Amino acid sequence: MTNSAEHSWTHAGHGLPQTVEPAPNTTAIATGLQLPAGFAAIAGDAELGPAITTNLARVEKKLREAISNSDPLADATSRHLVEAGGKRIRPLLTLLCAHLGDASRPEVVQAAVVVELTHLATLYHDDVMDSAPFRRGAPTAHEVWGNSVAILTGDLIFARASILVSELGSRALGIQARTFERLCLGQLHETVGPREDEDPVEHYLSVIADKTGSLVAASGQLGAIFAGADESYEDLLVEYGEKVGVAFQLADDVIDVTGVKVKSGKSPGTDLREGVPTLPVLLLRRDAAAGDASAAALLELIDGDLSSDAALAEAVAGLREHPVTNESWKIARQWSAEAVAALDPLPEGVVKSSLTNFAHAVVDRSS
């Protein structure tokens, strides 16, 4: 029998592969960080700015440590999306909300790592379900290694998140479990579609509340919990996160038909071509069913053959000019406004203003 010590991997796969490059130090990571739109007030605050940036760098370093694997294949597949980058909005919200209490507690950074790992795990699964060719400008994992490897990698990353959250205690574990349940239910309900007696728009809003809003909500909540913030803040942060998460996804829907190529590498109309339900198309179907002739004509084009670039461009242009696109923006902005309203009881300061500005920013962007 071969001695396992001769191998470069452990039974559970934990640990760094022997060929891995040394991780950059926290200072080097912090220097290269750029905060997403809506968080400019953080960078401008002499105290909060350095604290958030330093902790974001710690999160980035710990993300790489968490997904590293002594099995070479598992290491490569797990690092794929982390190294592709990302806005890190969820861990940023965890770190920001922690400043409602004692943000220096080490559990705060660990909680931020957990929410980003959970998000990454869902992306591997979503890309397989959607047959998406690109993510963050890079080929998706299933395009490189196949569906089975991509799904198992998502499972592996979620397992790592579960290990980390278990170290934070039973309450955090409960929040994580309930959030993951909602993520799965959202994907399931999106896959099977609305029931015959269910309004398609309401069904869609519930799907994105589960798939996007739930994890954004958990991000802020965990930050407040592990910073020891006032317990009264938790419910309002959950409400804020749910609503701003929905607003973010609704804005993405509209951006897909505005004709602006987004930074992820996703071209305008990709959702139309792939038949992905989005709010503008659902509103168009509603209007067509109600007898709107212009909606019915445009819907016939959208439901037709969009394989050619010319046909897709015509569909995108038609939907962009149709009133349902403006209506979709109004709905997204309403969710954003409700998210801001949920923050009313928070004390005035950079945390509240940054959360407010972020809610505005998610519905005031082109990519």
- The domain of 59 spans 37-229
Are residues 366 and 255 in contact, defined by beta-carbon separation less than 8 angstroms? yes
User: Euclidean distance between the first and final Cα of the chain, in Å?
Assistant: 56
Least trusted range by pLDDT, from 31-40, 130-139, 207-216, 275-284? 31-40
Are residues 43 and 118 located together in one domain of the fold? yes
Mean pLDDT of the chain: 86
What six digits make up the tokens of 308? 């050619």
Residue 10: predicted pLDDT: 39
Residue 128: predicted pLDDT: 80
User: Hey, is 255 helix, strand or coil?
Assistant: helix
Please name the residues in contact with 57: beta carbons below 8 A apart, sequence gap of 6 or more.
26, 27, 29, 30, 33
Confidence of residue 143 (pLDDT cuts 50, 70, 90): confident
Does some domain include residue 18?
Answer: no
Does some domain include residue 32?
Answer: no
Question: DSSP character for 103?
Answer: T
Confidence of residue 90 (pLDDT cuts 50, 70, 90): very high
**Percentage of the chain exceeding pLDDT 70:** 87
Confidence of residue 33 (pLDDT cuts 50, 70, 90): low
Task: Examine the pLDDT at 208 and tell me if it is beyond 50.
Answer: yes
Are residues 73 and 130 located together in one domain of the fold? yes
Element housing 135 (H / E): strand 134-135
Are residues 143 and 263 located together in one domain of the fold? no
Number of H helices, E strands in the chain: 18, 2
Does some domain include residue 23?
Answer: no
Confidence of residue 130 (pLDDT cuts 50, 70, 90): confident
Are residues 191 and 289 located together in one domain of the fold? no
Confidence of residue 17 (pLDDT cuts 50, 70, 90): very low
Higher pLDDT, 24 or 173: 173
Are residues 215 and 313 located together in one domain of the fold? no
Dihedral-angle region of residue 140 (phi above 0 means left; psi in -120 to 50 means alpha; beta otherwise): beta
Higher pLDDT, 18 or 196: 196
Does some domain include residue 242?
Answer: no
Are residues 275 and 129 located together in one domain of the fold? no
Does some domain include residue 29?
Answer: no
Are residues 269 and 124 located together in one domain of the fold? no
112: nearest Cα among 39, 170, 63:
63
User: Hey, is 134 helix, strand or coil?
Assistant: strand
Residues in the chain: 367
Task: Report how many domains make up the chain.
Answer: 2
Are residues 127 and 74 located together in one domain of the fold? yes
Alpha carbon distance 116, 136 (integer Å): 15
Are residues 204 and 149 located together in one domain of the fold? yes
Mean pLDDT of 90-103: 96
User: Hey, is 244 helix, strand or coil?
Assistant: helix
Confidence of residue 74 (pLDDT cuts 50, 70, 90): confident
Confidence of residue 69 (pLDDT cuts 50, 70, 90): confident
Alpha carbon distance 194, 286 (integer Å): 14
Does some domain include residue 248?
Answer: no
- Domain end residue (candidates: 184, 211, 229): 229
Mean pLDDT of 333-357: 96
DSSP output for 181-230: HHHHHHHHHHHH---TTS-HHHHHHHHHIIIIIHHHHHHHHHHHHHTT--
Residue 251: predicted pLDDT: 93
Are residues 77 and 149 in contact, defined by beta-carbon separation less than 8 angstroms? yes
Are residues 83 and 205 located together in one domain of the fold? yes
* Crossing angle of helices 309-321 and 323-342, rounded to 10°: 60
Confidence of residue 325 (pLDDT cuts 50, 70, 90): very high
Does some domain include residue 19?
Answer: no
* Domain CATH for 206: 1.10.600.10
Are residues 280 and 247 in contact, defined by beta-carbon separation less than 8 angstroms? no
User: Hey, is 357 helix, strand or coil?
Assistant: helix
Are residues 59 and 193 located together in one domain of the fold? yes
User: Hey, is 360 helix, strand or coil?
Assistant: helix
In this predicted model, what pLDDT tens digit does every residue of 232-265 receive, in sequence order? Answer: 999 999 999 999 999 999 998 898 887 655 444 4
Are residues 206 and 313 located together in one domain of the fold? no
Residue 6: predicted pLDDT: 36
DSSP output for 136-166: TTEE-HHHHH-HHHHHHHHHHHHHHHHHHHH
Does some domain include residue 243?
Answer: no
Are residues 243 and 339 in contact, defined by beta-carbon separation less than 8 angstroms? yes
